[in-house]
Structure 1
């Protein structure tokens, strides 16, 4: 039987154990995926990140595998959440689902590690850990960078904001950042609480109208999005390639 005892976490994401951070991120992503899997898939919504079938590994186990075999840094794991928000803002039809999550995660970790870490793995290693071919990872990497327009930077303050919201909205409610830690860290209440208007836990299915911006269309839910400086790509009809891929995907899903 799972313990209901609350677990105190450090005020700063740099100090949290990577095992706890993985639990927090996986919980958020799995709730996001459960919501987005209910959104009907349309041909123009297909991307390079879509697989024919959902991988036979949970997001939690997938993240643990990546942490174990790539020694990824905590900031890079949190950057995955930032990149989800960035790409969802630019591509409103894109959703993180059971068909896209795993490829997105491994591409994000590979890109962020190479961009910001002194030590990182080769693409062949990331591909092997992620369970895809190196050719596929190279394609995903190029597509990822194209969509995000090479805007890989993110402030430490925003990563901290993601971390605090992960703790606050965890589905079990068992994680907490004690007030005494918040005070001793030198951060003000406004810095720790991030958004005083969101005092209750926020479900991922609620979307986000942060800073006065409307929720992402089609019911797709994001994490902590602020689209003030983003320019969504114009809506276009499905290409021949997307229509063919969509037909193949639907056929494979019907057979499974």
Structure 2
């Protein structure tokens, strides 16, 4: 079988076609979700970003919808990956899965556009585009800001490295950046590994030696203060019980 035809992309993320960037980000997120969906959900892992069921729209189509109706800038799309890494480093129980990805993405777009752009949409618009009530989006925005500790910006160089990583690790091997041969500017012995990597390398699995650990894109653990693990709250336990009951009821209905 002939190797896939390579598509050469701009060296700068600011000049790449926005739909290509969306495809690259969606490809990374799909791989994260496929890995993290294997991790059993526990009460302490339940967050406001969890849906009871996975949305019926793919993350690729969801990102395209956001771009179409909000004209979100490339930097705001790329920094979503930085937010994932930072939040997963601060809160190891959080994972980007099929139950959290869509709500996380629309919230990340809301806060990034407000932090990085001179003009942005209202939360009413973002809520309609994201398919959630505006009151719920407001709550998610507050929770997101708390989890990220209001650290909403990063350098252009960091975003550029995320872009290079997306191109290098694309599952289809389709893209290459101008002037490279599928390799990014980061050497293999860099302090930062931009492959999909465990976010908790020093933490043993909670149950069983074969339990998978959550994955993120990049974690520079030394730069992010770690919070001590906290037991599940009463609210989390109640939400988890309702979550399990809903799944059990759907399973019974399916069997019937």
Report the TM-score when normalising by structure 2.
0.88
In the aligned structure 2, how far is the partner of 1:227 from the partner of 1:21?
26
1:196 aligns with 2:202: no
Gaps spanning 5+ residues in structure 2: where?
A: 206-212, 251-256
Q: How does 1:1-256 map to 2 (within 5 A)?
A: 4-179=4-179, 192-197=184-189, 204=196, 206-207=197-198, 214=201, 218=205, 219-256=213-250
In the aligned structure 2, how far is the partner of 1:179 from the partner of 1:151?
33
In the aligned structure 2, how far is the partner of 1:165 from the partner of 1:55?
27
Query: CA distance change for structure 1 residues 54 and 120 in 2, over 3 Å: closer, same or farther?
Result: same
In the aligned structure 2, how far is the partner of 1:55 from the partner of 1:193?
36
- SS of 1:193's partner is coil
Query: How many equivalent residue pairs?
Result: 240
In terms of fraction of residues, the more helix-rich structure is 1
The answer (yes or no) to whether the contact 1:33–1:97 under 8 Å persists in 2 is: yes
Gaps spanning 5+ residues in structure 1: where?
A: 183-188
The answer (yes or no) to whether the contact 1:207–1:216 under 8 Å persists in 2 is: no
- SS of 2:29's partner is helix
- SS of 1:55's partner is coil
Spell out structure 1 runs of 4+ moving beyond 6 A.
none
Report the TM-score when normalising by structure 1.
0.88
